[in-house]
Structure 1
Amino acid sequence: MTSVAKIFTGLCLLVASLFTLQAQADTLDKVLDKETLRVGVALFTPWTIKNEKGELSGFDADIARKLAADMGVKPEIKVYEWDDIMPALNKGEIDVIAAGLAVTPKRALRLEFSQPYSESGVGLATHTDKTKHIRSLTELNHKDITIAVVNDSIGASLAPSVFTQANIQTFDTADKAEKAILEGKAHGYVASQAVVRFFAMDNSDTIDVPLPEPLLSYKVSFGVRKGDQALLNFLNAWVMARTADRWLPATQDYWFDSLEWREAQ
């Protein structure tokens, strides 16, 4: 390669890197310029809950508001069906996902993960009457058993590998999956451990959580678009700071380990 070609190539790489850095800063700059942080959430108790007035509460709703406050901007919390939330991020409809998003290699191909801000697990809820004769997890792995999951969720990823012989029925919302098992159309429901726990608590005459431990533990992180490094840097710093000052652990304890919030709904 001639010296002129080398100089030209070097200039091209420099320009490309400058454009990349600009692109990485764009989302964070836009958030600060517009003074609004658009946060995508999904309705899973107690991650995000909507009451009869349409008001949002929950662990991730609290996180969205605290995150925006620490940035000095207003939060705009947008609710999505679970299988729409990652496409919404990539379309630019939201700036960040805060929705109990489990870190998986497959998802890492579609978005950037922040440092984990929480830890959860995949649990199993069962229809008490339909499974009263079942004594082990192995007995649920049968062709006559139907397991409900929410599309593109961590439960949907795990269930086929645990219940290889069962009929895995996929729903686009948690409400539809829960309705199916309540109506006896499914024997079990695989979802976040917190989701199945509170689902069983609200329907104790019909639903049980038979396993003392989760089927799988996982880390929960924010999700941002590929290349949004400046925003990702801020989120990582935020997680570190709010873990150190105990705001994150205290907020998680409130929503996942106490029942105080239920009295306030």
Structure 2
Amino acid sequence: MNRFFKVCAAMMVAMVVSTGVAMAGTLDDIAKRKTLRVGMEPGYMPFELTNQKGEIIGFDVDMAKRMAKAMGVELELVSTAWDGIIPALLTDKFDIIMSGMTLTQQRNMTINFASPYIEIGQSIIVSNKIAADIKSYKDLNDPKYTVASKLGTTGEQATKRMISKAKYVSFETEQEGVLEVVNGKVDAFIYDMPYNTVAVGQRGQGKVTHLDKAFTFEPLAWGIRKGDPDFLNWLNNFMYQVKNDGTYDKIYQKWFQSDTWLKEIQ
């Protein structure tokens, strides 16, 4: 073997070894730790929220419980502020983001996503003061209107991109945005349709109007650190399993087709 081939062989071995370490990373850590650590911000109904007992519940929580059971480990939920959730993942504060996160190309530059588990879009909660004049997001694209969303979300991005002529204000939480519309301080709140549907039923009946046809396409997916194809493969196979054995449908019906869970937070 001449010098050139020796160098090539050494490089290939190094690549295999380094790749093997990356591939084994998170799954091995979870197995050794015997705990799956899931990062989420518990303020996004019905995906993750806090009940009267202070427990985090929701669609993503039930999926995380099923995931931990499939792994044979315990589940640890790590409550994290939304604006710091990706940095927290990258610094190993938890293993995976399961927090109703939209898969965007911008986020995908920083983290990897498993296959989407649900598709949603942005909808509009409108003050009844202007509801008669607003039939779609296009009607809000006027300087005379004040439109709000949550800071750092795809709702904010959609508003700035598609309703750019309106005055825009942002809020730290979804609850603040909805309440401002209910109180007549802003004209409309742009946010994910599942949340808006629940929020209107909870706080806005008779005071606001929900334009419940999504005007954007947004796949939600679980986020993980880059360079971990084994974990990505496990997550995609897990999703394939639960979507075909009835598990996913059962959890979906509980959180999206029933309102029984609302009793836990009222």
Instruction: Tell me whether the two structures share a fold, i.e. TM-score over 0.5.
Output: yes
Q: Which position in structure 1 is the counterpart of 2:9?
A: 10
* Contact kept in structure 1, 2:122 and 2:214, CA below 8 Å: yes
CA contact (8 A) 1:117 1:248 kept: no
Deviation at 1:264, TM superposition (A): 4.7
| Contact 2:197–2:212 under 8 Å retained in 1 | no
Superposition pairs of residues 170-249 of structure 1, within 5 angstroms = 170-203=170-203, 204-209=205-210, 211-249=211-249
Deviates more, 1:177-186 or 1:147-156: 177-186
Q: Deviations over 1:168-220 (max 9, x none)?
A: 222232233233333333211111101111111112132220x2411123222
Q: Which amino acid aligns with 1:154?
A: T
How far apart in 1 are the matches of 2:81 and 2:144?
Answer: 29
Residue in 2 aligned with 1:78?
A: 78
Q: Quote how far apart the aligned CAs of 1:21 are.
A: 2.0
In structure 2, how many angstroms separate the alpha carbons of the residues matched to 1:252 and 1:39? 19
Task: List runs of 5+ in structure 2 lacking aligned partners.
Answer: none
Which moves more between the two structures, 183-192 or 41-50? 183-192
TM-superposed CA distance for 1:33, in Å, is 0.5
SS of the residue 2:149 aligns to: strand
TM-score (normalizing by structure 1): 0.92
Distance 2:139 2:122 in 1: 19
In 2, Cα distance between equivalents of 1:167 and 1:19 = 51
Q: Tell me the secondary structure at the aligned position of residue 39 of structure 2.
A: strand
CA contact (8 A) 1:82 1:172 kept: no
1:67 corresponds to: 67
CA-atom RMSD, angstroms?
A: 1.8
Aligned residues: 262
User: What is the rounded CA distance, in whole Å, between the counterparts of 1:233 and 1:64 in structure 2?
Assistant: 16
- Aligned-residue offset at 1:75: 0.7
- Alpha-carbon distance in 2 for matches of 1:86, 1:177: 23
Unaligned runs of at least 5 residues, structure 1: none
